[in-house]
């Protein structure tokens, strides 16, 4: 799973709100599944896999508007079932 990170907005690096699930395949290119966007862009955050398969996302910085802001809420992302 890839959540947030750094992207370029017309040459200016900014935090992103993207979420993707990367599914490795044995003898082929991995498959990438786009997930719903995160409610707030984040970069320099932490992601922790939880026992139920969800991912806890906390901290980081949202500089997508040009002013750095700290996200105030934690986010729990549950990937869709793969079957």
Q: What is the pLDDT of residues 3-36, one digit of tens each?
A: 999 998 788 899 999 999 998 888 889 989 999 9
User: pLDDT tens digit string along 40-79?
Assistant: 999 999 999 999 999 999 999 999 988 999 988 999 999 8
6 near 13, Cβ under 8 Å?
A: yes
Q: So where are the chain's domains?
A: 2-77
DSSP 31-73: EEEE-PPPSS-BBS-EEEE-TTS-EEEE--BB-TTSS-B---S
Q: Do 42 and 57 meet the contact criterion of CB atoms below 8 Å apart? A: yes
Q: Residue 80 above 90 pLDDT?
A: no
What are the structure tokens assigned to 78, written together?
Answer: 């549950």
Its pTM stands at 0.81
Among 46, 43, 41, 1, smallest CA distance to 17 is for 41
Rounded Cα distance between 32 and 26, Å, is 14
């Amino acid at each position: 799973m890839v959540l947030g990170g750094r992207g370029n907005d017309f040459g200016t690096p900014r935090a992103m709100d993207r979420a993707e699930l990367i599914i490795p395949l044995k003898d082929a290119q991995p498959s990438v599944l786009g997930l719903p966007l995160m409610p707030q862009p984040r970069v320099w955050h932490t992601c922790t896999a939880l026992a139920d398969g969800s991912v806890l996302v906390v901290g980081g910085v949202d500089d997508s508007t040009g002013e750095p802001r700290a996200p105030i809420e934690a986010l729990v992302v549950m990937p869709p079932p793969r079957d």
